[in-house]
Chains A and B, each alone.
Chain A
Amino acid sequence: MATMAFQKIYTKLTQITKATCAVKATGVGYEELATVGGRLAQVVKIMDDTVTLQIFSGTEGIGTDAEVIFFGRPPSLKVSEQLAGRFFNAYGDPIDGGPQIEGKEVEIGGPSVNPVRREDPSELIATGIAGIDLNNTLVTGQKIPFFADPDQPYNQVMATVALRAKADKIILGGMGLSNDDYLYYKNTFENAGVIDKIISFVNTTDDPPVERLLVPDMALTAAEYFAIQKNEAVLVLLTDLTLYCDALSIVSNRMDEIPSKDSMPGSLYSDLAKIYEKAVQFPEGGSITIIAVTTISGGDITHAIPDNTGYITEGQLYLRRDTDIGKVVIDPARSLSRLKTKVMGKRTRADHPHVMSASVRLNADASNAKTKMENGFDLSDYDQRAMDFARDYAEQILAIDVNIDTEQMLDTTWALFHKYFTPEEVAIRDEFMQLYWKEA
């Protein structure tokens, strides 16, 4: 970002903390961009003639006589078709050695869509993963995170979802991504030959943490361009939002704000909502769907980050390692897609919601039986059958490497119901029992 001519330069810093600095200046707009000693910064507080700036790359080595130059505009991104297939840093500058993007300059983090101009989401996104398609169907315009412990393969699962989902554009917002994971995504997309529909904004662990705060807005500004101007179905992948929240708390701490639960800023809910609520279905056909990763610690979802996220997103997905089959599955008991009822049985076969709830119930019975067994109690015949069912179900349907369409998933589930249970135990409405309960 080159300096323009005739800009006023300030050189009197009155305060420097680890992430912010203050300078005496006038005529500065709130949230305006600036450079401090050549580093990008943004106005976060103005009090009379004292302007407080958050320096994205940190204040190490910034002197009290550093040059401060204001840009007169908030952070922005140039948008056009040229974005497709490119990799950028958190500021929207190319990092793949390619040329700068030509296009319309748009402020990032703009206003929200008028709710009456939205459309009720109703198009399903098929992924071939039963834990999603069968039990927790995703819908365009939805926002949903994976709640995963750091040791779980969430990046791999997300890359699988991205590749199998039918989207026009896939936008990756990487925050605090390790360099290895960044290269993993890059290679996976390249090998699948879909690089021309991928756009990435990446802040790796090599980059300063506060920079991450720009990544979601950059990714979503690009997403809005394709969803609104081009009426495309855009899938936005954000990983890892826990690291984004950590950056928020660093800035809030430097600003002397009173922390609320778990040392997070009191505005955490609003900050996260501003990101997730960009997920939208437009009447003209364009849509933004957000799949995010929120890493949690030891499965604790009462921590402020997963807790606030859960109240904002339309469900959440959990990964679980199924020890019976030795594979990772999407946990049918804890995962939930809130929008699934909009498409289940409407865009899919009519028995879908009933099969889904029966299988969830029977799986729950199986895990109760398992607990019973572990506690040394005798198992009833039903308990044993439920456990057998759960193992087959995990192996033939749930395992993440199974890639079949919803109809096949339903048929396989019916076959398993029939193999292990009586009609009373399955307890699905008579009209569907008559259609699908067949003698093998």
Chain B
Amino acid sequence: MTKGTVKGIISNMVQVEVDGPVFQNEICYIDLDGTKLMAEVIKVTGNTAYTQVFESTRGLRVGDTVEFTQRMLEVKLGPGMLSKNYDGLQDDLNKMRGLYLERGDYTDPLDEDSVWEFDPIVKAGDEVLPGDWLGAVQENWINHKIMVPFNLEGKFRVKNVAAKGSYKITDTIVTVTDAEGNDLELNMIQYWPVKLPIRAYQSKPRPFKVMETGIRTIDTLNPIAEGGTGFTPGPFGTGKTVLQHNISQNAEADLIIVAACGERANEVVELFTEFPELDDPRTGRKLMERTIIICNTSNMPVAAREASVYTAMSIAEYYRSMGLKVLLLADSTSRWAQALREMSNRMEELPGPDAYPMDLPAIISNFYSRAGYVYLNNGTPGSITFIGAVSPAGGNLKEPVTESTKKSARCFYSLSQDRADSKRYPAVDPIDSYSKYLEYDEVRQYLDDNIAPGWVDNVMKAKDILLRGKEAKDQINILGDDGVPLDYHTRFWRSELLDRIILVQDGFDPVDKSTPIQRQAYMLKMILNICETEFSFDNFEELQPYFTRLINTLVQMNYQPFENEEFNNYKTQLENIIEERRVN
């Protein structure tokens, strides 16, 4: 093993003089009076390795010794990851000893003593490839497949399979023979270097299904595909995190992985506290049972922030390989980009725009491309849908992280300060935002088949109403209420109706916070009907009180369980209000 000594220290960048070969991204441990600090090689010049340390370097001295491991930063994969709270390096936070995150306190991500009920899938004599399913254990309500390690190469023949029964993750469950005739004993654990994508699948088609999130402004106006990518840029206070939390609670996924990357600790604590209490609307079990939280909050060491998103993605890929529908949320990828910037600066690289490294767009795009819908070797589909939050500096969407992400992500949910200021949450701007998936023929077909025939046409109608409403409002603001034709007021109030009923959603109301797609279709149809109804007004002053009544009644409907008695009462009230001014 290569060894080295510390030569220079600037914050968390440490230069190490090495006595042998090292490779890029190799992990090493720096010895600080007996405490081992984990670091990653990020550049090598001559016999000097530049490393980023995943811990505070306080007290480190020139001459301290360093040991290299010949491994890259890896995740440890196996049953028992669900419901866990990890830090960015996949340490189990609950296993850490003290009140504080002490340096060098690295803990096992899996529980080696826990016992699992193993049910074999393969039998002796079968031929298997990396990623193929050998057997399964039941992890919470997920059928967790034990797979041929992804880091093996070539074909293998199964020699022995353990009988159905209870095993620890360290017990050998399958023995395989490689092409040269060497035997290999496999247990339930495998390792994967986080910076590399897991490619143990047959094909990656274009996404064609829609993933329901329960958020109307997403599902109805700009749906995200299962296996798709999206991002939510927005200035602070526009509700990025609340939106992500709502998606994580209600999205129709088998498994949710939340990467809290460089954000507030209290937000993570909220997840820790709420998720074990909240019911998963799909299974009736607790949300925490289908959730993995990777958290590297803003006060945790900055280098581990970069690692955290990769750790999360690798775990997502592992579960995708079991044929599961995984939703990965990262909040916020800007913090990760800033971590890259800090390091690039300390290495005295020539800076790109806003002092970010030049290869930022490439790094972001490589990361987003790891999401996707795949067919595994056995033909089963699996998917990772990825939604990243972006925190643009000064709320300016022309900054490098937003622009780079825009090139990679297919859905753009722009959070607007104006909407947030007028408390219209979720503050997704309906005009600026888009979903490229609405252009996919296969997605349009899926929507027409699964929601309602002609659905996409209705969505486009809704978008037109919003755009015309905005134009009308701009004119009214310039020319004054009585300076424009009455028709402008009608246009504005139609869009206002659609906005307040479909787009605005109360994330804290038990009913309104998540709307199933069938209810969304019902409401959209009702709103479009009202928008197409011709009303008679004598002057513009009659519109506001009238439409306010319509809106209030519809808001009450949003708060009621779908089609219960109250809901239907409000619907009758609504119909009466419509009749008051309807032109026959």
Contact = CB atoms under 8 A, between A and B. Distances in A.
B100 A270 contact: no
Contacts of B470: none
A112 B236 contact: no
A44 B101 CA distance: 23
Contacts of A148: none
A119 interface: yes
A267 B297 CA distance: 15
> Is chain B's interface secondary structure helix, strand, loop, or mixed overall?
mixed
Contacts of B268: 115
Nearest to B338: A269
B297 A115 contact: yes
Interface stretch (A21-29, A200-208, A405-413): A21-29
Interface residues of A, number: 77
A269 B101 CA distance: 20
Given A30-B61, A114-B93, A334-B421, A267 B342 contact: yes
Given A46-B8, A303-B394, A277 B56 contact: no
B302 interface: yes
Interface in A99-125: 107, 110-121
Nearest to B340: A266
A435 B69 CA distance: 68
A259 B269 contact: no
Interface residues of B, number: 72
B572 to A, nearest CB: 15
B99 A257 contact: no
Given A115-B93, A115-B269, A266 B482 contact: no
Given A266-B345, A341-B508, A427-B552, A45 B298 contact: no
A266 B342 contact: yes
A74 B298 contact: no
A277 B345 contact: no
Given A424-B545, A427-B555, A267 B93 contact: no
B254 interface: no
A277 B556 CA distance: 39
Interface string A384-428: 000000000000000000000000000000000000000011010
B485 to A, nearest CB: 16
Nearest to A52: B10
Contacts of A378: 480-482
A280 B59 contact: no
B367 to A, nearest CB: 20
Contact of A120 (B94, B269, B302, B544): B269
Nearest to A252: B345
B62 A49 contact: yes
A152 B490 CA distance: 43
Contacts of B422: 361, 364
Contacts of A269: 262, 298, 335, 338
A164 interface: no
Contacts of B544: 380, 382
- Closest CB pairs A-B (n = 6): A302-B394, A273-B298, A277-B299, A310-B236, A47-B8, A260-B355
26 contacts: A29-B59, A29-B60, A29-B61, A31-B59, A48-B62, A49-B62, A111-B100, A111-B101, A113-B101, A114-B101, A115-B268, A117-B99, A118-B265, A120-B266, A228-B99, A266-B355, A267-B302, A269-B298, A269-B338, A270-B262, A270-B342, A273-B298, A277-B299, A304-B393, A378-B482, A380-B541
